[in-house]
Each structure stands twice: as C-alpha cells, then as structure tokens.
Chain A
Amino acid sequence: MKKSIAVALCAVMTMGMVGTCTTVFAAEEPDPTTDEAVVKAAEEEWEIAVVPKDSTNPWFVRMDTGVKEFADKTGVNCYQIDTGTIDATKQAQLVEDLIAQDVDAICVVPVDMQSMDSTLKKAKDAGIVVITHEGADLTNVDYDIEAFSNEGYGAFIMQNLAEAMGEEGVYTTMVASLTNGSHNEWADAAVEYQKEHYPNMTLLEENPRVESDDNGDTAYNVAKELIKTYPDLKGIMGTSSFDAPGVARAIQELGLVDKFFTSGTGMPADNAELLKSGVLKSLTLWDPAKSGAAMVDLACKVLNGEEIAAPANLYVDGYTEMNFREGSETVLEGQGWITIDAENVDDLGF
C-alpha cells in the first residue's frame, strides 16, 4: 500500500515536473526559422530595411537589437537604418533613397503620418512591400503592426494592479489628460476588465479619473491629494509613463509601501530603483525588439505571397496571434505587452 502511494506520488511529481517543463517551453520564444516564408527570404536574399524614428533613442536601440537578432538567427538580409534625429523630412528622404536602391521591403515607424503616407505611396508603386508600426492611420501600406489592442493592454495593466492589490480594495485611474485618446481607452478597458474579473475591487466613485499632465511631479502631487482625501483608496492605475512612477514617489514619502499600490506604463531603466526597492511591484510595457522582429517576419510573409489571415502567426513572442483591428484590413494587433518587475528590469537595456 505504502509502495503504491510512493509510486503514485513519484508519478504525480514527475508529471508535475514535465508540466513545468512544458510551460517553460511554452514561454520560450517562438522560432522564426520554422516559418517557411523566412526560410525562403533567406534563400532568395530579399533585402528588408527597417526605418525607426531615430536610433539614438534607447527605445529604437532596443528595436535594432531585435532586428539584428532576427537576422543572425534566420539569415534574412534585414537591417535597421535611420537618420540620427527625429525629423519627418529626413525620414521621408531616407525612404526615398531606399526606394531608389530598390530594396524588397521597407518597414517604417513613421515620425509624421501625413508626409510619410505620400512617400510610402511611391514605394508601393515601385512594387516594394511596406510594413509599418505605430502608424495605424497610414493608407499606403501592406500592413501595419500594433503591439496590442487598446482593450487588451488596459486589461493587462488591470491584471498587474489587481495582483499588487490582492484583488481587493478601492482604486482609481490616472491619464495624462482627459482628452488623450489611447490613455482613456486603456483606462476604460481596465475598468471593464475589473468589473468582470475582480468583484472585490471597486472604482472610486467620487473621482474615477484624474489627470497627470504627463508630468511626474503632477502625478506625485495628485496621488498625495487622493490619498489624503480618500482614506479607503488602495491603488491607482497609471497610463502615461509618468503616472505610476510619480505615484510611487508619493507612496514612498508617505510611508505606504505595501499598503498602497500602483501599476501602469513605465520605462525600465528610469524606474529600476523603485522596482527593486519594492515601492513599485510591476510596470507594463511593450518590447520594441519584438515589434522590430515581427515587422521583418511579416514582410517575409508578404514577399512570399502568403495570404495574411487572422490569427496570423509572426513567430515572435506576443505576436503569434495577430488579429485585424475592427473595421480595418491592414492593421494587425497582437498581445505584445510585457510585465517589468524587479527581476527582469535590467535585462531590457533601455
């Protein structure tokens, strides 16, 4: 009897281990070399140029890392090229040069939508594949990639905030300004998600949305005032990259670490200290390296003449189930959000 229990236990444990192993494997990055189109691209030596807004910005340095890794791993001739300054005119000029060089595909993160759109028309007329990122309003493109839908990202921030708050208590939302489109969509989606999934959490009725003016100091002062006014308040959801860090400063000063919580968009290097000291439990973001790689993969697919149907798999983590934005035939949205915490904050390099 004892023996059988032992055997059963062993079996359960082994299964558990296998289980963990498989989840580890599932979390492992998808392999773009298994994508037919990418293999073909490497064989045919298609040239794919990625044009960021400006390469001195650490954000696009990180994107460059992603593109380079993709090139090293797959052998596809892809590279990032830029103008050194954020300048719409220079960026358009660079794209024109690429058209003249007759590259096979151009991937752009546009500085200015209008001027880029007319330049991209020339590229399309020349038979060059055009992929963009964060350019959903462009019309002369094959496809535009967005890391996520606004609804999805809002829900994701809420998951992080709820985890920190222990899924209970009163919270409110902070946006740069009430007129900011995406911030308010994220906040609305987060509130929706909370209502569905966290019954023990409630939105602060008297002040459901406050403004930070995209300024860390304002976020800090507003947080202090909220905490004073509403003793029951336990958390603030941030949207702008200054919100959660600003609130964290208030938490630190008022001695409310582990009693009051915040989560939201934030840059890793700028907030490493706050994350490591535990004032901030987590921040949310998307990884430009992944967006860069996903653009190149999609370019390979289009060059290969593949039909892009939802859900499209771009063989990049967070971009494996791309769906079309409602009412659009060119904008693809993924699930490319990431959580930044004390452990991975130093790994991103920006």
Chain B
Amino acid sequence: MKKKVKKIFQSNEPYIFLIIIILGIVVQIRSGQFFTGNNIVDLLSAMIVPGLFAIAEFMALISGGIDVSFPALASLSAYATTKILLDKGYEGNVFLAFLIAVLIGALLGAINGYFIGYLNLNAMIVTLGTSSIFQGFMQGTLRANQLSVIPQGMKKFGTDSFITATNKVNGLSSVLPYTFLILIIVCALMFFVLRYTIFGRGIYAIGGNALSAHTAGFNVKRTKFIMYIIIGMIASIGGICRVCMMQQCHPTNMLGMEMNIIAGVVLGGVALTGGAGTLTGCMLGTFLIILVQNSMILLGIPTTWSDVFVGLVIVIGVSLTALQSSRTSRSKKKAVKEGA
C-alpha cells in the first residue's frame, strides 16, 4: 500500500492535477465563474480537438519520434472530405464524413510512416516536409478557400447538444456537442491499445531503445509505419470534429496548433526522448494548456500579458516535470546501487 502511494507521487500526474485545481481555485476567487456548469462545459468543448491531436502526438513522442504535420494533415483531410460531400450534395449523417476523413488520414499518415518507419529518416524533418506538402496540395491543387456551408449531417453533429449546462445566475447556457463522445471513445480505445496490446507495448519499447526492441522481437519498422497511419486517422477525426463544431471549413484555421499541443503533452510528463509517459498525463497536460488559454480574461490578466502567462505556465510545468523525472531516476539508481 505504502509502495503504491509512493509510486503515484513519483509520477507527474498528481502534480499536474494539483496545478489544475489550484489554478481553478484562483480563477474561482478572481471571477466566481470557474466551478459553474457552463464554464466547465466551455472548457471541455474547447478541449475536444486539441485533445484528439494530443493523443496522436502522444504516440509519436512515446515512440521517440515527433509529428509536426498533424494540423496540416487534419486540415487537408477535413477539407477534402467536406468538399467531396458538398460536391455530391450529400445529405445523410456524419458517419460517412468520418469514414472518408479517416481513409484519407490513413493514406497521408502512411506517407509519414513509410519515410519514418521503413526509410528510417528523422521524424521531425519528414513531418516538417510533409506538413508543407499537405498545405501546398490544399492551397495549390485543391485551391482551398473557406467553405462556409457544410453538409447538414455534419452541422447537426457539431451543434446538437450532448450536455447543456445553464448557469442559473446569469442565464448563460453552454452546449457540449456530441464530438465530445468521439474524444472519449478515441481516448479509451488508445488507452487499451497502448496498455494491453503487443503493438502498444511495442511503441513504448521502440521509444525506450529501438535496438533492444528489435532484439526483443518487435518489428520496429512495421510498428512505426502502422503507428503513423493511426496518428493520421486520429488527426483527421480531430479535423472533422473541428469542421462540425465551427459549422464551416477553414483550410488554415488549425495550422500552428502543433506547438501548444506538443507543449501540453510534454507538460503531462511525456519524455521528448521517448519511451516514458502516460495517456492520463498527456490529457491532463493538454487540459492545463486549454485551461490557461481560456481563463486569461476570467483571471483579469491584460491581453498584453496573456502570452507571457501562458508561456510561464508551460515553462514552470515542464520544469516540475523534469525535476520529478530526475528525482525518480536518481532514486532508481540508488535502489540499484543498494541492491548491488
């Protein structure tokens, strides 16, 4: 029992959780608006798309790689999907949209996967390159501009209320759309895959040490290849969710999100060197970033200083994480010494 408690406090999650709670209390004191139904719903709904992206990025980082192409990938597949459905005059429900987007996402992810997995190229460089290609393809070949009307089924899915929270004091009611369920499902599915399947354990093993993983019998190349396909699929799901919720498709709207997503995942204790980190931590870290970004006004921080504040939270958070992991590794070394 004691050991278990000790183990929990050696990980990052409780600290990130603590920061979230403290920040929440500060916002509550400053504005009296934090622990209200509609504010929580607002935060959860702002979390949906970044949350999906974070799951995708989490896998890339765990495997010792990185993916900076997912915003462009998601934009391209979401745009192409919306455009196809509009051209066909599609009026059915949203499932077809997700299906097409996931297929396109898998294809684009396979491009990343081939170069990174089979040709063993540096993931950062490859995804930087494909990111430009995806953007260029969208703007050049598809001549993408804003689609202000989206298929009815997608619009309905993005605006229909899963949970509606009304604040009794000021009468404001916020809507949490069904896209939130998508985040929950993808999260649960990936939690299972990463924890209980050979493929999932393989990703951790490769991130820890690719050579040892190979020796231990993991097919490193194929695992990486499939992983980038899955990343492409999840990113595309995120793209479709964004289009449904915005009720319009804007081709450049998601670009530039990668940095804050990576920051959130690292904040959650995922090592940039690969091999270590939990999905829970990843989601908590991402939530912290969303929380900070969406509480500047509630906190009463002037616009001029809000970027500084977001940056500060990231730096402090990552420092805590780093401190924590160095402490853990030190105590592990000590344990090894004692054992010897």
Residues of chain A touching chain B, judged by Cβ–Cβ distance below 8 Å, are: 56-58, 178, 206-207, 209-211, 215-217, 221-222, 224-229, 231, 249, 253-256, 267, 269-273
Contact = CB atoms under 8 A, between A and B. Distances in A.
A224 B303 contact: no
B148 interface: yes
B148 A178 contact: no
Interface residues on chain B, size class: 35 or more
Interface in B206-263: 242, 246-248, 250, 253
Interface of B: 31, 33, 38-39, 42, 46, 143, 145-146, 148-149, 167, 170-175, 242, 246-248, 250, 253, 293-298, 300, 302-304, 306
Nearest to B175: A253
Given A216-B246, A225-B295, A228-B38, A210 B303 contact: yes
A228 B298 contact: yes
CB-based closest 5 A-B pairs: A270-B148, A225-B297, A254-B172, A228-B33, A229-B298
Which of A56, A207, A271 has the largest number of chain B CB atoms within 10 A? A207
A224 B253 contact: no
A207 B248 contact: no
Given A228-B39, A229-B31, A254 B174 contact: yes
Contacts of B172: 227-228, 254-256
A217 B294 contact: no
Contacts of A217: 242, 246, 253
B253 A211 contact: no
Given A207-B303, A215-B253, A225 B173 contact: no
A254 B173 contact: yes
A206 B300 contact: yes
A123 to B, nearest CB: 30
Contacts of B300: 206-207, 229
Given A226-B297, A228-B33, A228-B39, A207 B302 contact: yes
Contacts of A228: 31, 33, 38-39, 42, 167, 170, 172, 298
Contacts of A222: 297
A228 B41 CA distance: 12
A222 B174 CA distance: 14
B82 to A, nearest CB: 14
Given A221-B46, A228-B38, A270 B174 contact: no
A235 to B, nearest CB: 16
B253 A216 contact: yes
A206 B143 CA distance: 42
11 contacts: A211-B303, A217-B246, A224-B42, A225-B297, A228-B38, A228-B172, A229-B31, A254-B174, A255-B172, A272-B148, A273-B149
Nearest to A218: B293
A270 B39 contact: no
Contacts of A273: 148-149
Which of A206, A215, A226 has the largest number of chain B CB atoms within 10 A? A215
A204 to B, nearest CB: 10
Nearest to B155: A273
A178 B304 contact: yes
B11 to A, nearest CB: 31
A56 B31 contact: no
A89 to B, nearest CB: 16
A221 B171 CA distance: 18
A216 B149 contact: no
Contacts of B146: 267, 270
A227 B39 CA distance: 11
A319 to B, nearest CB: 27
A278 B263 CA distance: 40
Contacts of A56: 143
A30 B177 CA distance: 50
A224 B176 CA distance: 13
A254 B174 CA distance: 6
Contacts of B173: 254-255
Contacts of B247: 249
A36 B294 CA distance: 59
Contacts of A178: 303-304
Contact of A210 (B31, B174, B297): B297
Which of A57, A211, A271 has the largest number of chain B CB atoms within 10 A? A211
Contact of A270 (B248, B293, B294, B302): B248
A209 B304 CA distance: 9
Contacts of B295: 225
B298 A269 contact: no
A224 B172 CA distance: 10
A210 B145 CA distance: 26
A271 B253 contact: no
A178 B31 CA distance: 24
A210 B172 CA distance: 21
Contacts of A255: 171-173
Contacts of B39: 228
A270 B250 CA distance: 10
A270 B246 CA distance: 12
Nearest to A85: B140
Given A178-B304, A217-B246, A254-B173, A269 B294 contact: no
Contacts of B175: 253
A224 B174 contact: yes
